[in-house]
Amino acid sequence: MDDLSLRTTFDREAERYGRARPAPPITLLNAMLKHLPPDAHILEVGCGTGQATLPLAQARLQVYALELGPALAEHARINLSGYPNVTVETIAFEDFRTDTRFDALMSVQAFHWIAPETGLMHAASLLRPGGALLLAWHQDRTEDTPFNRAADTVYNRYESPLELNRPTPSSSPARFIGTLEDSPLFGDLHVSRYPWRKVYGKERYLELLLTHSNVQAMKLPVQEHFLAEIAEVIDRHWGRVERFYESVLVSARREHGIGASIPSPQ
């Protein structure tokens, strides 16, 4: 299964995705809002069910949200139906074209599916000079625990080499930071980190796993056996899973002196 196939697996679990995925922490959302003028026009890439979009909508910002998955996009439209300042389009970021230039491009937990070089060039073509690029990922910072060790033995039996090499939030900030440092299109690069924690009961944690691309990529009988083994591990560890996360925000600004128009990558 290639990266694009893995990237589209989320849409099969759109309802569960909205229910099980934790919302971005308020500290991260407030940090992103500080980069935006009060009347900002924002392009959001990979809005999912609209968890990160909602605070922008509530702040009365104009948001044009892109979502590759039709089911996820429809859930986002329903969740944001009370906000006429939000538009959700079902389209891949790479295919999106417009004459509009946005004040900011933001993405939470989605931009790692896009190649840094072409993705940042396309982002620059969609931003006005001085516009903000705001890329965020949640990284699991849970230290070595008895649950992790037991769960890792299960994962090691089920994950293929392809799944282990898939794009992940854990490796993404470094990939994009390196490209941004070398890019003439962006400046004012900053990296900020926001720790938080989440405790899951067994059923909610299993639901969360079903929203992960590596689990979705498993054949159904294999997936069922995998989840059953993880459930047994949770039962042996007090029926709950505590995870410690760190949200990483990579921010930059589109340079002014690079010309009014940047061609989108073909």
Q: What is the pLDDT of residues 88-134, one digit of tens each?
A: 999 999 999 999 999 999 999 999 999 999 999 999 999 999 999 99
221 lies in a domain?
A: no
Question: What pLDDT does 187 receive?
Answer: 96
**Residues 258, 248: Cα–Cα separation, whole Å:** 28
**What's the number of domains the chain is made of?**
1
* Of 10-14, 93-97, 168-172, 257-261, minimum mean pLDDT range: 257-261
Handedness of CA 101, 32, 95, 46 (dihedral sign): negative
Question: What pLDDT does 49 receive?
Answer: 94
Question: What pLDDT does 256 receive?
Answer: 85
Question: What pLDDT does 244 receive?
Answer: 94
When pLDDT is averaged across residues 73-102 and rounded to a whole number, the result is 97
Beta-bridged to residue 107, according to DSSP, are 135
* Of 10-19, 78-87, 131-140, 208-217, minimum mean pLDDT range: 10-19
* Of 69-83, 148-162, 188-202, 237-251, minimum mean pLDDT range: 148-162
Question: What pLDDT does 1 receive?
Answer: 42
When pLDDT is averaged across residues 177-204 and rounded to a whole number, the result is 96
97 lies in a domain?
A: yes
24 lies in a domain?
A: yes
The domain containing residue 10 runs over which residues?
3-140+169-198+243-254
The percent of residues in the chain predicted with pLDDT above 70, rounded, is 88
**Residues 134, 251: Cα–Cα separation, whole Å:** 5
Q: What is the CATH number of the domain that holds 44?
A: 3.40.50.150
Question: 87, 229 in Cβ contact below 8 A?
Answer: no
Single-letter residue type at 77? R
Question: 151, 233 in Cβ contact below 8 A?
Answer: yes
pTM of full prediction above 0.85: yes
159 lies in a domain?
A: no
Question: 120, 186 in Cβ contact below 8 A?
Answer: yes
Question: What pLDDT does 32 receive?
Answer: 96
128 lies in a domain?
A: yes
227 lies in a domain?
A: no
Question: What pLDDT does 265 receive?
Answer: 55
259 lies in a domain?
A: no
Question: What pLDDT does 259 receive?
Answer: 52
Tens of pLDDT, residues 1-57: 445 555 666 777 778 878 888 899 999 999 999 999 989 999 999 999 999 999 999
Other CB atoms within 10 A of residue 106 CB: 29
CA distances from 266 to 95, 118, 121, 122 (A): 9, 9, 11, 9
Higher-pLDDT residue of 21, 253: 253
219 lies in a domain?
A: no
**Residues 215, 147: Cα–Cα separation, whole Å:** 18
Question: What pLDDT does 11 receive?
Answer: 77
Q: What is the mean pLDDT of the chain?
A: 89
Residues 6+ apart with CB under 8 A from 40: 61, 62, 103, 104
